[in-house]
Amino acid sequence: MAKKLSSFDQEPGAEMLFSYFNEISIISQLSGAMFEKELPFGLTSAQFSVLNWFIRVDTEATPGRLATAFQVTAGAMTNTLQKLAAKELIKVEPDPDSGRKKRVTITEKGRDQLEQAILCTMPVFDKLLQILDSAKIENQLPLLQEIRKTLDDMRYKK
């Protein structure tokens, strides 16, 4: 049996919240590995996520904005962008308003491969839906979205 941490004794609910986020972390690791195994074209989860960001959030961004959005170093994002550009899934061009900045956009090939990648992962989700109760998952979505928004807001506040 796991030892109870004394710091949880100070704040009511902290142990429960730690367990909650621990479960989310484990789910993220397991589902991420399962998801990445199904990605085609040699895409990694990081590359898929960047392509998906352009569909969900904005049509263009600077490498710095993407690094901030994904909470990775500029070097890590540069590496991911270079690999995507080599596959012609994104374009990295000089910013016309700044001699130093670059602008990143998704290409048509990038959109097509993202769509195909999503289709390739559907069997994983179909399999999970045979095991898990989709109504329970749907009911939990608003709470998870609220937590995500709260955490996202918190990272910009000191």
| Domain membership of residue 125 as a residue range | 39-154
Q: Is the residue at 8 inside a domain?
A: no
Q: Kindly report the three-state secondary structure assignment for every residue of 91-158.
A: EEEECCCCCCCEEEEECHHHHHHHHHHHHHHHHHHHHHHHHCCHHHHHHHHHHHHHHHHHHHHHCCCC
Q: Is the residue at 96 inside a domain?
A: yes
Q: Is the residue at 65 inside a domain?
A: yes
pLDDT of residue 100: 87
pLDDT of residue 148: 92
Q: Is the residue at 15 inside a domain?
A: no
Question: Residue 79: which CATH number?
Answer: 1.10.10.10
Q: Is the residue at 24 inside a domain?
A: no
How far is residue 72's CA from residue 67's CA, in Å, rounded to a whole number? Answer: 5
This prediction has a pTM of 0.82
The total of structural domains in the chain comes to 1
Task: Render each residue's pLDDT in the chain as its tens digit; 158 residues.
Answer: 555 555 555 677 888 999 999 999 999 999 999 999 999 999 999 999 999 999 999 999 999 999 999 999 999 999 999 999 999 999 999 988 887 899 999 999 999 999 999 999 999 999 999 999 999 999 999 999 999 999 989 987 86
pLDDT of residue 96: 86
User: Three-state SS for 44?
Assistant: coil
